[in-house]
Structure formats: structure tokens, C-alpha cells
Amino acid sequence: MQPVATTFFFYFLSGLTVLSGVLVITRKNPVHSALALILGLLAQAGLYLMLYAPFVAGVQIILYAGGIMVLFLFVIMLVNIERSQKEEQFNKQWLIGVLAAAALGVLFVLVYVKGKDLFPEHIAQPAENSNTQQIGVMLYGQYMFAFEIASLLLLVAIIGAVVMAKKRI
Amino acid sequence: MLDYITSYLSSNTTPGQAGNVFWAFVYILVVFGGVSVAVMAMNWLERKALAHFQIRLGPMRVGPHGLLQPIADAIKLFTKEDIVPDKADKFVFWIAPLIILCAAFSVYIVVPFGPTHAITDLNIGVLFMLGVSSLAVLGVVMAGWASNSHYPLIGALRSSAQMVSYEVAMGMAVVSAVLMTSLNKTGTGTLSMIGIVQAQQQQQIWFLFKFFPLGFIAFVIFAIAMVAETNRAPFDLPEAESELTAGFHTEYSGLRWSLFMLGEYAAMIAVSSIAVTLWLGGWMRPFPNTLTGAIWDLVFSLFPGAIFIALAVIAFVGVVRMPKHPYFRIQTLGLAGFGAVLGLIGLILFAPPVRDRIQDIFWFVAKVAVFMYLYIWYRATWPRYRFDQLMKVGWKVLLPIAIGVLILTAILGVLL
């Protein structure tokens, strides 16, 4: 089926992402920040859907919004909110902050100016219907080695967590 | 405009795939209305069946055999005072039940009631259902935290730990069923809900019986994890009455509390429909491979109408057995009217064009209904787990078995 109101949804979702990103760093209450972050992650999942990548969108919802953020909230809920609200929210490194922001801004402007040469003229039409299958073939065929290395890394992290948490095994 | 509306009827896909906004909207209204009615019916059935399990009568006052009790409850909850605790986080408190409700209802977008009777068919159907229904835990956590009270907080902590742990075993069981869809000539599986049922149709077997007992074990693991996932007995620790009053929704009252209930029951129906789709052949009628032929098709297509006629007969028996006192006159008339409506629906369902279209929906709903009854049965039969036992079952029993089943399924799939 042909996509409907693409421009509207793009600006809506990206606006939502930016807004929630701002909310994450400005809210005093850490729980509110975490909730804003979840909103941002969901809006990003919507953007992935617009890019014809439903599998990535689904994984984004399951892993980030449903898994990792729940653990975030889990930890934050146990923290004493009243104390954390009195703590200072921003540190005083405005000089470095301005430099980093300026560098990022320059990068954005450069991409905007030179974008025509960097990116292909026409959007590649990805096959929406076989997105999941294609990702599977890629991961277990072409990028098998990298994929297995990444899983090994995760295994190391799990073992490390167990070793740190348990004094005697 | 009229062309746009009628053009869909001749197409052979779901409205979402056909891109027909009008019919998609109609389907959404029908499905959501149907689910809401099913939740009300489930509410009545649960109270009634639980009561009979415990040799009580259950609701008897409002309408014959308490049939109107859910409506009375709804009116009561709507008109009840809505209390927000003084020190609660108002915004989060307000939005938490809505999140649970949205998460529970959005998954119905991909539930396949039939090959064309779904709102849409996503390429990532199962993934979407698992992901969105896992968002409900956010609502639980937010509700528990925002109440600013001890019982809800403990309930929310328990609930999030429980839901996150059982999701893992659940996911592994689902993957082993998804693997089975790839056993065709091209060797590519699918995650789409309609595609999974079609794969079972092609392989002429429910995945429940595929590689017996592997499919069966995966199904049992899913069936256990799904009860834990919806916080129902015997895994209802987040709302354990004896220790936590009502768990994460202790501080909620009135309409907001009823939203929690609506979300819980809608989620129960949703996960049951995942189980039906993955292992029990979705919309397919029983024995599509052995009892073939025009006669069997006819016999099975008469089932929906026959069930409604049977319900109508039960209602009329109730009318006859009603006491003849004038006090019961309105009840008798109401029950007779209800029976007449049921009988009429049954007669309509016998009409050949309706019969053919409604069949798949009927079998899907019937299979889901079995699960809903099982939920009540569990609740009446089993005592509640202790929290450490719950965690042990999730991580040390279900997860290893699920991974073992997954590996064996993969090996058998490659060998056969």
C-alpha cells in the first residue's frame, strides 16, 4: 500500500523525538526524565517504520522501551527522589559544551550543504515485505562473524555481572 | 466514495494491506467494541464460574442469573468519586492506566480472526504483539510509583521483575514456533500472524503437534508464561490481596480502576490469541486435514449457528423455570427477549453467505474462549506462588527447557 501523509508523520515523529530529548535533560524528577526518554524511543521506532524497517522498529520497542527502560525505572524508583531533586542538574562546563555543540552544528551544516554529493539522488526502494528475512540473511550470512563476536561480548558482560554480584560462586 | 467503500469487498486481503481507510476504521471499531463486550462477558463469567467452583451462587440479583451485573458495575464505577492521593504525582498517576489500556488494545491490530478478518497484517506481527504488550509493564510501574504509597510500590516492583523474567521464556517459546514456519520449500519463515497460520495450513498440522512433543512443550511454556505475564493467579503476586491489598492499583478508584481491569482482561485475550495463532491453528476449523470433503465442511460450518441456538434454548428453559410470581415478570420478559435475540443471531448465522464468512472468526474466538475459561479454572484451583518460587520457576525451569526445545527444534528442522 502507498504511504499516507508521509511529511506530516515525519515532522510529527521527529518533533516528538526532539521534544522528549529536551524534556529528558530538563526535568528535575528522574522518573519524569525516564518517561520522556521512553516517549522519545517510541517516536524513533515510528521513524524506523517510516524507513521501511519494521523489524528494527519492533526490536526497538521490545528491547529499549519494554526491556531496558523498565530496568531504568526499576532502579530510579528505589532512589530517594527528594534528595536527587536538590542536587544540581547541570555542571559548570559550559565552555566545553558550547564547543561540542558548535562542532556538531558545523557538521550538520556541512551535511546540509554537501548532502547532495554524499547521499544517492534517489531513495532506494527497500522491500518492506521481506525486511525481517533480509536482516536474518545478512546477520547469519554476510556478517556472521561480527554477529557472533557481539554475542560473545554480551556473554562476557553477563559473566562479569555474575562475578561482581556474587562474592562466592 | 461509494466505489471506494465497495471496492474493498471484492479484494481478498485485510483492509490494512488493501490500504482502505474506511474499512480499516470499521474493523477497528468492530474489534474494539467486540473486545470490550468480551471483557464484560468475561467479568460476569469469571464471577459466576468462580462462585460455582466454590459452591456459591455468585451474582444473582441484577437480571436473571446476574446477567446484567457487569453493566451495573460499569455504571457504578463511572459514577464513583475519583480519588487522587494528596502526595501522588498527578500527571503520572493520571497517565498510567491509559498506557496499560493503549498497550492492551493496540495489539489487536494484528490479531488474525481470519485470513481477511484482521485490521492489518504486519510483516513483524508476533514481534509487534510481544513488544507492545510488554509496554504494559511501564503502566504498572508508573501506577505503583505515582501512588506514593508502600503497597503499590512493592506491587509494581514485583510486577516489573516478574514480567521481565517471564518475557524471556515466552520469547524463546515463540521463537521455536516461528522456526517451524520455515519448514517449507523456500526455507524462509515468517513473523506475520496470518503467515504463521497459513504455514500451519500448508504443513497440514497444528504446531502444537509438530515434532511431538517439542511443539507441545513450547506451547505449555508459553501457556505458563502468559499467565505470569498478565499477572493472573497463580502468579498474581503484584496484586496479592493477602499481603499487598490490591498491589499496584491500591490507590486507584472509580473509572481509573476500571481502566486497569479493562486493560488486564484485554491483555489476557490478546496473549491467548497469540497462543491460538502460533500453536492451535488460528482460524482453522478442527481436523481440516482428515475430515475433508463437502459434507464435513457443511457440518463444521453449522457449528456457530448451532451454538447460538443452543444458548437460546438454555435461555428459554430459564424462562420456563422462572418462578411465576409477579415480582419476576420483568426478569422473565427480559430473559425471553435475550433468548429471542440469541436465536435470531443463530438463524442469521445459518444463512449460507454469512456462514462462510463468519466461520473462521467463530473458530478463532472459540479457541480463545477455551483459554479464557482456563484462566478462571487456574484461579479457582491453584494457590499463589511465593515470590522466590516464582523467580525460580521462571529462570531455572522454564527458560532452560525453552532453550532446549528451541535447539532441538532447530536440529530437527535441519535434519527433516
Which position has the grid cell 497484517?
B121
- Look at B141 and A70 and tell me if their CB atoms are within 8 Å: yes
CB B174 within 8 A of CB B126: yes
Q: At residue B59, does pLDDT exceed 80?
A: yes
Fill in the amino acid letter for B308: F
Q: Please, what is the average pLDDT of chain B?
A: 84
Q: Is B12 on the interface with A (CB under 8 A)?
A: no
Q: At residue B265, does pLDDT exceed 60?
A: yes
Residue of chain B nearest A67, judged by CA positions: B164
Residues of A in contact with B123 (CB under 8 A): 54-55, 128-132
Q: Mean pLDDT, to the nearest integer, of B317-338?
A: 85
Q: Is B17 on the interface with A (CB under 8 A)?
A: yes
Q: Is B130 on the interface with A (CB under 8 A)?
A: yes
Q: What percent of chain A has pLDDT over 70?
A: 83
- Look at B123 and A59 and tell me if their CB atoms are within 8 Å: no
Residues of A in contact with B160 (CB under 8 A): 70, 73-74
pLDDT band of A80, cuts 50, 70, 90: low
List the single residue in A35, A54, A130 with the smallest CB-CB distance to B122.
A54
pLDDT band of A100, cuts 50, 70, 90: very high
Q: How far apart are CA A72 and CA A45, in angstroms?
A: 19
Q: At residue A20, does pLDDT exceed 90?
A: yes
Q: Tell me the residue range of the domain where B145 lies.
A: 15-284+351-415
Q: Mean pLDDT, to the nearest integer, of B223-252?
A: 79
Assess if residue B342 is contained within a domain: no
Q: How far apart are CA B249 and CA B154, in angstroms?
A: 11
- Look at A67 and B188 and tell me if their CB atoms are within 8 Å: no
- Look at A55 and B19 and tell me if their CB atoms are within 8 Å: no
Burial code (b: 16+ CB inside 10 Å, e: under 16) for B247-261 equals bbbbbbeeebbbbbb
Fill in the amino acid letter for B367: K
Q: What is the DSSP string of B162-206?
A: HHHHHHHHHHHHHHHHHHHTT-SSS------HHHHHHHHHHTTS-
pLDDT band of B287, cuts 50, 70, 90: confident
What's the helix, strand, coil split of chain A in %, to 5?
A: 80, 0, 20
Residue of chain A nearest B166, judged by CA positions: A67
The predicted-structure confidence for B65-100, as pLDDT tens digits, reads as follows 888 888 888 888 888 888 888 877 788 888 888 888
Q: Mean pLDDT, to the nearest integer, of B312-324?
A: 87
| Confidence (pLDDT) at A14 | 92
Q: Is B102 on the interface with A (CB under 8 A)?
A: no
Output B187 or B315, whichever has higher pLDDT: B315
- Look at A32 and B92 and tell me if their CB atoms are within 8 Å: yes
Query: Minimum mean pLDDT among A83-87, B215-219, B311-315: which range?
Result: A83-87
Output B352 or B398, whichever has higher pLDDT: B398
Assess if residue B402 is contained within a domain: yes
- Residues 6 or more apart in contact with residue B16 via CB below 8 angstroms: A1, B24, B109, B118, B119, B120, B121
Assess if residue B62 is contained within a domain: yes
The predicted-structure confidence for B126-148, as pLDDT tens digits, reads as follows 888 888 888 888 888 888 888 87
Q: Which of A143-152, B89-98, B204-213, B297-306 has the highest average model confidence (pLDDT)? A: A143-152
CA distance A105 to chain B (A): 35
Q: At residue A17, does pLDDT exceed 90?
A: yes
Residues of B in contact with A52 (CB under 8 A): none
Q: Is A66 on the interface with B (CB under 8 A)?
A: yes
- Residues 6 or more apart in contact with residue B277 via CB below 8 angstroms: B111, B112, B126, B193, B196, B197
The predicted-structure confidence for B139-189, as pLDDT tens digits, reads as follows 888 888 888 788 888 888 888 888 888 888 888 999 888 888 888 777 777
Q: Which of A16-20, A83-87, B139-143 has the highest average model confidence (pLDDT)? A: A16-20
Q: Is A59 on the interface with B (CB under 8 A)?
A: yes
Query: Minimum mean pLDDT among A140-144, B241-245, B274-278: which range?
Result: B241-245
- How many domains does chain B divide into? 1
- Residues 6 or more apart in contact with residue A136 via CB below 8 angstroms: none
Residues of B in contact with A55 (CB under 8 A): 123-124, 127
- Look at A77 and B131 and tell me if their CB atoms are within 8 Å: no
Q: Is A65 on the interface with B (CB under 8 A)?
A: yes
Residues of B in contact with A74 (CB under 8 A): 141, 157, 160-161
Fill in the amino acid letter for B294: A
CA distance A97 to chain B (A): 32
Q: What percent of chain B has pLDDT over 70?
A: 98
| Confidence (pLDDT) at A101 | 92
| B51: helix, strand or coil | helix
The predicted-structure confidence for B19-35, as pLDDT tens digits, reads as follows 777 888 888 898 889 99
Q: Mean pLDDT, to the nearest integer, of B6-11?
A: 72
- Look at A74 and B16 and tell me if their CB atoms are within 8 Å: no
Q: What's the CA angle centered on A155, arms A153 and A160, to 5 degrees?
A: 95
Q: How far apart are CA B112 and CA B125, in angstroms?
A: 10
Neighbours of A91 (CB within 10 A): 8
Output B240 or A56, whichever has higher pLDDT: A56
Query: Minimum mean pLDDT among A63-77, A122-136, B304-318: which range?
Result: A122-136
Q: What percent of chain A has pLDDT over 90?
A: 22
Q: Is B160 on the interface with A (CB under 8 A)?
A: yes
| Confidence (pLDDT) at B81 | 82
CA distances from B236 to B63, B242, B385, B386 (A): 31, 11, 8, 10
| Confidence (pLDDT) at A104 | 94
Tell me which residue of B286, B300, B299, B282 sits closest to B117, measured CA to CA.
B282
Output B242 or B102, whichever has higher pLDDT: B102
Q: Which set of grid coordinates corresponds to residue A104?
A: 556538531
Burial code (b: 16+ CB inside 10 Å, e: under 16) for B355-364 equals beebbbebbb
Q: At residue B280, does pLDDT exceed 70?
A: yes
CATH number listed for the domain at residues A1-86: 1.20.120.1200
CB A77 within 8 A of CB B156: yes
CB B246 within 8 A of CB B239: yes
DSSP state of A122: S
Assess if residue B380 is contained within a domain: yes
